[in-house]
Chain A
Amino acid sequence: EVQLVESGGGLVQPGGSLRLSCAASGFTFSSYAMSWVRQAPGKGLEWVSAISGSGGSTYYADSVKGRFTISRDNSKNTLYLQMNSLRAEDTAVYYCAKDGRSYGPGGYYYYYMDVWGKGTTVTVSS
């Protein structure tokens, strides 16, 4: 069974740090890009960061650039998100998601997030 399990969330003070982990199973982890998506309480989904299958390319939303670092350990089938200089507005449920792809109109590849974890909650408060 394809599965993603996040961990590492918790309560942290403003300016603090936290590292989230996402353990993957049931698929060839190194073959797929992975993303972190967050959802603030009562709000919509916000894409946060992504990393290529090899780990050689990383991408960030402007709201976290310079503060968050995404990484992966393909030998451990694990995705990470190192979060520094945390702010109250970073309070959210953080989901990891696996990229999927399929052929679509015009014979091109189309990408989507086909597997999601249950999420881990990060609360930034004094």
Chain B
Amino acid sequence: DIQMTQSPSSLSASVGDRVTITCRASQSISSYLNWYQQKPGKAPKLLIYAASSLQSGVPSRFSGSGSGTDFTLTISSLQPEDFATYYCQQSYSTPMYSFGQGTKLEIK
């Protein structure tokens, strides 16, 4: 099974900050990596697929990079609505997906 590990588990930042979240896979997954945003009491929302492709309707301040085992999600200038929990997900072994443990982004 492919294990996904995110860091940090939580992060405090201010509106306007640039934030980076890291995700590492236990084996190479090429670019088969997705990022989701989840707000409390809501379903997850797809932000990025194929490591760096922005899902339609997602603001351009979100970007993703990486391949192989190491990936990053960057938010270039935090907005109030971006405070949420973020999850990476590997789709290399689709449809047997696995998620990272999540990174909770909080307001400083």
Instruction: Across the A-B interface, give the 4 residue pairs with the lowest CB-CB distance, nearest first.
Output: A104-B50, A50-B95, A116-B43, A110-B50
Q: Are B53 and A104 in contact (CB under 8 A)?
A: yes
Dominant secondary structure of chain B at its interface with chain A? loop
Interface residues of B in 23-46 (CB under 8 A from A): 30-32, 34, 36, 38, 42-46
Contact of B96 among A45, A47, A110 (CB under 8 A): A47
Chain A residue numbers with a CB within 8 Å of B99 are 44-47
Q: Are B55 and A114 in contact (CB under 8 A)?
A: yes
Q: Are A110 and B95 in contact (CB under 8 A)?
A: no
With an 8 Å Cβ cutoff, the count of chain B residues facing the other chain is: 31
Tell me if B83 counts as interface (CB < 8 A to partner A): no
Chain B residue numbers with a CB within 8 Å of A100 are 46, 49
Given A47-B96, A110-B91 in contact, is the A118-B43 Cβ separation under 8 Å? Answer: yes
Bound together, the chains give a CA A120 to CA B91 distance in angstroms of 24
Chain B residue numbers with a CB within 8 Å of A111 are 32, 49, 91, 94-95
Known A-B contacts: A46-B99, A104-B50, A116-B44. Give 10 more (CB < 8 A). Answer: A35-B95, A37-B44, A47-B98, A50-B97, A52-B95, A59-B96, A61-B96, A110-B49, A110-B91, A118-B42
